[in-house]
Each structure stands twice: as structure tokens, then as C-alpha cells.
Chain A
Amino acid sequence: MRNYYLLPFDFTRVAHHEVLVNEYGDMLVLPQGSVERIVDHRLEYDDVYKDLVANFFISESRVPANLGIYASRLREKKRFLDDFTALHIFVVTLQCNQNCIYCQASSRSEQSAQCTMTFDTMEHAVRLMFRSPAPVLTMEFQGGEPSLHPALIRFGIETAERINETERRELRFVLCTNCVHLTDEMLDICRQHRVMISTSLDGPAFLHNANRGKVDSYERVVAGIERARRVLGADMVAALQTTSVQALDYPAAIVDEYVRLGFRSLFLRALNPYGLASNGQDWAHYTERFIEFYKAAFEHILYLNRQGTPFVEEFAAIVLRKMLTPFSTGFVDLQSPAGIVTSVLVYNYDGYVYASDESRMLAEVGDFTFRLGSVHDRYEDIVYSPKVQHLAQLWANEALAGCSDCALRNFCGADPVRNYSTQRDPYGHRPSSLLCRKNKAIIEYLISLLVERREEVLPIFKRWLQ
């Protein structure tokens, strides 16, 4: 036995093993009883001991040699903070031409008045965006259905490009559209300015149409996707899936539909408890069923990969990147400090600035907790406001009860807005949080695959992360 010193790490148990995670998310899988032996300073001088030293779980000197390397890895994992807000969401309108049963954005009919952004608001919002120091700025147009207002979108993009003649940032544009009514004018804007299309497709026709409350939505979306691909290129069109209650029964069919339509990846996305979507749902029951749905769909995706069809599940890819690589991962829903403000700001049609997409959805039901200011306000008064300062105390899972001593916190994130909307408290209560329940279950599932089926899954995961 050798004399050694502990370094900070946490642990959990998965698949009859102890999973140790150090301060920057490196994971070591050891037999049961290992943690106790480590903590009691009873380790033998063997390969486990060497693994623990080499990966900074323990140290042979009080202050580890290569302290700078430890610090450098820790810093790299938080590098997403360096650039500050990169994603800027412009809620162009609430008007929509669909009527989705789980609508998360409180959409209104195409004829509704007073729910579309003015040109003046757009211009101020674009100017605010440029106050963010990020070298890459993404403008994402959302709704409602933003493609109902091509002139406004063109104005937004052209305003940004004009300002950028002196600002010299990298600009990216994303249009979130249901693809149902992509006019020539809209596609022309997309082609001219290299706008990526992010659309919504829930799976096979019967599912998609049932979720939309329309009979021909699926046909029109698929036709829209094909058209957009022809005009813009296949890699410029991505799709998002949302798992309605009915969809829970069709994990494989949904995956197969994405493969059939030529997509290379899928983000298996749970419903979220906003807007109309939360009416009359039993969220605890839904969450449990979603976890099972996720695993079934994921198994099917693994099967396809084994058969030689490269296909990525995006949520897992984000978690696995945190787990298996030394690189920083910026994904607004799964980071600490949370994505709100640090990574995303929302400029709403009403001329106000919100902390996140979810924040503006709360506003639609009359709750303005996360309204940070107006597009006419000074940038500093928005991002350094007392509201944001308060949020900043709740947005790091390193400092939240139930998260700070969770071994999975490196792979997860903090979400004060979700805590507030589901638990009426931005601090949140982890033991009863369904978001915590869902994330933990999925992350533990991914770890269990790495523990029990490493040879099979690791090569697939590596391909996903390249």
C-alpha cells in the first residue's frame, strides 16, 4: 500500500459497478466497493491505482504534479462560456398555419393581429445582438410560423449583414419552419443568405398528422423538405421530432421514418410542459414512459448502426461528447452555467427580451418572470440586470442542492426556468424534479451501455463524435 491523497471526485452506481467521475467529467468504471477502499486509503499498488493517479482521482503528492494540466482540462470544459451569447432567437410571429396538439409556443391562427414583430423591433433586436461579444452569431427565426413573414425575415438578415460589414463576425441563420408553405420568396431568401432550415417532423404520416390536427400535414411537410433540399442542398435541412403521448408507442417507426427520408440523425425530444402542451397531462407518468421510449428508439438506432446505416441520436451525442472527450460542449439545455443569457437570448415579437425560448412561452400565459427588458434598453441593463444577477446564483449545478453532489452533473446542466415553470421555484427541488429524473435515467442508461456493451457501442459512439 502506498500513501496517497484524494482529489475531488464523485460517484454513482450503474450496472453493478461504481462509476467515478472527476471534476472535469472523466469517468472510471470500477467494481463495487472501490470507492470505500479509495476513501479509506486502502488501495493496493496495481493498475487501478495507476488509473486513478493518471486520471487525477488521487495524487501521490499533496499538490498533484502537473497541476497546470488539470487546470487546463477543467478550463477547456467550460470554454463555451468564453464567447458569451451566440444564439439569438427572433420570435417573428405567433401566427401559424398548423394546429399542433402539443404546441409549445402558444401559436395563433394566421389571421390573428398584434402578434407579429414590427420592423422597428427587428432592427433594435439585431443591434442588441451585435452587442454580444460572440465571434459567431446565430440568428434563429422562430414562431409561430416565421415563414409567413418573409419580408420581415429578409429585413432582419439584411440589417444584420449591413451592420456586420464593420463588425466582421461570423453570421449564421436558421429558419424554424414547419415547411408547409415555403414560398419561392422565402426559399430565395434562404438561398441568398445561406439560411439553414430546421423543421419539425414527428414520424410516419399517421403520427405526424394526428399531432398536427390536419389530414395532409405530413405530405406537405415532406414535399416542403424535398423542395428545400433541392434549392438549398440536403445538408441545409434538419428536422426535430417531438414525442407526443401517442408517439410513445412507435419508437422504431419514428426512427425508420427519419432514415427513409434521408436524415442522418434524430434528436429524440420529450414534450415540455409549456403552453397548450401541459394541459391535462400526467407528467410523472409521461416521463417514465418517455424514458422507456427513448431506450427503445436508441436500441433501434444502435441496431441500424450495427447494420451499417450511420445514424446519430443527437441528445446522446451531446452527453457522450461530455463523457468521452476532453472538449467543451455548448448546448443550451444541458450546460452549467445554464444556457440562459450566457448562450441564448430571445427577442420576442412583443419587443421584449427574454432569457430563453421557454421564458417567452411563460410570458404567453401571463408570467413575465424571465422578461429581462425591452429591445430599446441598453445591452448592459439587460444582461447585467438584477434579474439576471439573481438567476446567476441558481444557474450552476456545481452549487445547487441535489446537483452539487451528483456524479452526473458534468454531463447534465442547470435550468432555473424549467425549475420555475414546473416547480414554481427557480432553485428547484431535485428529488421531485422530472427533468432530473429524465436526464439522470438517460445518462445512466448511456453509461450502462458503456459498462455492459463497451465493445459494441464504443466504436459507434466514436463515429458519432467525430
Chain B
Amino acid sequence: MREAFDPHSNDNALFVTSRCNNRCLMCCQPPQADPDAEHLFAHNVRLLQSAPPDLPVLGITGGEPTLLGERLVALLEEAHRRLPHTAFHLLSNGRAFSDAAFVRRVCRAAGDNLFVGIPLHSDYAGDHDLIAGCRGAYEETLTGLYNLADAGVEIELRVVVNRLNYARLPRMADFIFKYLPFVGWTALMAMERTGLSVPNEAQVWAEPRQYAPQLRQAVLSLAGWGMGVAVYNVPLCLLPRDCWPYAKQSISDWKTAFAPRCEACRTQAQCCGLFSTSIRPFEGITPILEP
């Protein structure tokens, strides 16, 4: 548990709950019951008191933060009161936002300075629900996305690429443009080899070099429509070069690592690197020697 904020970090966040109503097959932080929810809430309120007032972005993460319900609204009110100029980056599965009134309460609490990151696992409901480990998740998430758009909330759509969804990535790109043209950007993300992706490896694990062609097609398709698109967590050596402009240094600074052979790589300074938390690095990491 975090004890203070680091204004120099790219990852300042309130961890608000360990609970979740999805059971994503590749979850890197498997949900648990909150042993002491009130203590956690109080801790977060205390943390806010020490927050530097010029903090540009404050993450709100879990678990599934919206499970706090009205307590999330209260926490956002407090956060906005303390940090009137800070944007709040809420990571949520979006299901609770299928309630439009809840969306309005959350927005108001955050002083409309809110952007929400929401995972979409597939354009096909059956696959999304399978990956999310919950029947009906797709329907609620999609409705949630529309409600957030109606409320004018900026949305980061997050697609965690895995064995069950990578074949449909190009179709998903079409789907996103047609059904979710309002999202601020779409982040296509590689998995971490930690949490549930380890025991569920046979079902969900896919290597970036395995899905690079589909990933590339999806990235270029969205970019071609002028849609915002970003690639998270895929090292540059595993990403087709025409996708490099979309690659972001997405891994929190405290868990970025490089392999020994990355020392020789000329792109290390631009590369997202690897998760120090992964039990094994991606296959095919190769230093890039030519410019």
C-alpha cells in the first residue's frame, strides 16, 4: 500500500478496492475481498491530504473502483476539493456506468475532470464475456461506454491482447470506429506474465510476435480513420516499425525493466521496456542495432 505521492512518478494512484465483479482470465491483479474497506477508504482520504496540489493526473484503481458506489462519489468529491486542477484517471470495467444517473454523479463529483480507462475484450459479446469471466459484462460495458460519451467523459478504450481475442483485432478496429467513434483513444496492450495469466497460460497467453500482424492491422486501421490509437507494453523490437509512432512508454516507472541484451539496443530510451513483475520476458527480445 502506498504511503505518499511522488510528484516525479508517472504513476500516482489511489488503490481503492481489491474487489471486482469481473473475473478476467488474464487479470494481473486477481481480485480479493477487502478485509477492511473502511480502513482503506480512510487511508486514501489521508493520502489525498498529502497530495501535491500541482499533481497533473491522479489514478483511481482497484479492483473495480465503481464497486464502492456512493463511496467512490464521496472519494472523488474529496479528491476534487483537495486537487481542483488534477485530472482523475479512473480504471474501471465500465459496467456500473450502464446506470446513466451514476455516471452523472461521478462526473459531477470529479468536477468533470475525469477520464476513464475501460477494457473491451472483443467486438463479439460471447468472447468478451468469456474473457471477462462474467456473462452479461459486454452488454453493461458497452452501455456504460455510451453513457460516459453522452456525459462528455473522455474514454480510453483498453484492449488487452490475448490468445482468445487477437485473431479478431482487425475486426475490432472496424467495430470501434463504427460503434465507439467517440473514444478519445484506443490502447492495445500486451499482457503481463503475472497474476492469472500464469495459471491460465494455456487458454490466454499469446506472445507479441505471434499477434504482431493482427495488432499492426488494427493500429493502422484505427489511425487511418484519424482515431487515437496507442500500443502499450509491447517493446519496440517486437512491434512492426510502422506501429512505432503509436508505441507509448506505458509501464509504470517503478516496474519497468530491461533484459541484459537490451543494453546494446539503440531504441532503449524510447522503448516501454518489460514488466519487472513478469515471471518471464516476451519471446524474441532482440536489440535493435541499426538506426
Contact = CB atoms under 8 A, between A and B. Distances in A.
Given A54-B125, A462-B224, A69 B178 contact: no
Contact of B179 (A53, A326, A466): A326
Given A47-B167, A51-B171, A69 B126 contact: no
Given A55-B175, A326-B181, A50 B127 contact: yes
Contacts of A55: 123, 175, 178
A238 B108 CA distance: 46
A73 interface: yes
A108 B126 CA distance: 67
Interface residues of B, number: 23
A18 B168 CA distance: 21
A269 B135 CA distance: 52
Contacts of A65: 125, 136, 138-139
Interface string B117-154: 00000111111000000001011001100100000000
Interface in A24-55: 26, 47, 50-51, 53-55
Nearest to A50: B124
A54 B224 contact: no
A73 B178 CA distance: 9
Interface string A57-76: 00010000110110011000
A459 interface: yes
B177 interface: yes
Interface string B215-230: 0000000001110000
B268 to A, nearest CB: 32
Interface string A286-330: 000000000000000000000000000000000000000111000
A66 B178 contact: no
Majority SS of interface residues in chain B? Answer: helix
A462 to B, nearest CB: 4
A26 B178 contact: yes
B224 A50 contact: no
A53 B177 contact: no
A466 B139 contact: no
Contacts of A326: 177-179, 181
Contacts of B224: 458-459, 462-463
Contacts of A466: 225-226
A466 B177 CA distance: 13
A68 B146 contact: yes
A55 to B, nearest CB: 7
Contact of A50 (B136, B168, B177, B225): B168
B177 A72 contact: no
Contacts of B179: 69, 73, 326
Contact of B143 (A66, A327, A465): A66
A326 B178 CA distance: 5
A54 B143 contact: no
B143 A69 contact: yes
Nearest to A24: B178
Nearest to B145: A69
Contacts of B226: 466
B147 to A, nearest CB: 9
B126 A60 contact: yes
Contacts of A72: 146
Contacts of B146: 68-69, 72
B125 A47 contact: no
Given A47-B167, A54-B125, A459-B224, A66 B142 contact: yes
Contacts of A69: 142-143, 146, 179
A60 B139 CA distance: 12
B172 to A, nearest CB: 9
A277 to B, nearest CB: 39
A47 B225 contact: no
B143 A68 contact: yes
A62 to B, nearest CB: 15
A53 B139 contact: no
B138 A47 contact: no
Contact of B175 (A54, A60, A458): A54
Contacts of A51: 124, 171
A376 B178 CA distance: 46
A210 B55 CA distance: 70
Most-contacted residue by chain A among B126, B136, B175 (CB, 10 A): B126
A65 B142 CA distance: 10
B223 to A, nearest CB: 9
Interface string B159-202: 00000000110010001011101000000000000000000000
Interface in B27-47: none
Interface string A262-301: 0000000000000000000000000000000000000000
Contacts of B178: 26, 55, 73, 325-326
Interface string B73-88: 0000000000000000
A176 to B, nearest CB: 31
A326 B142 CA distance: 16
Nearest to B182: A326
Contact of B124 (A54, A327, A465): A54
A88 B234 CA distance: 54
A50 B224 CA distance: 24
A416 B178 CA distance: 31
B124 A53 contact: yes
Contacts of B124: 50-51, 53-54
Contacts of B225: 325, 462, 465-466
Contacts of B181: 325-327
A54 to B, nearest CB: 4
B93 to A, nearest CB: 16
A76 B42 CA distance: 45
B167 A60 contact: no
15 contacts: A26-B178, A47-B171, A50-B127, A51-B124, A53-B124, A54-B125, A65-B138, A66-B143, A326-B181, A327-B181, A458-B224, A459-B224, A463-B224, A466-B225, A466-B226
| 8 residue pairs, one from A and one from B, having the closest CB atoms | A50-B124, A54-B123, A65-B139, A462-B224, A326-B178, A54-B124, A466-B226, A66-B142
Given A54-B171, A325-B177, A462-B225, 17 more contacts: A50-B127, A51-B124, A53-B124, A54-B175, A55-B175, A65-B125, A65-B136, A66-B142, A69-B179, A73-B178, A325-B178, A325-B225, A326-B178, A326-B179, A327-B181, A458-B224, A462-B224
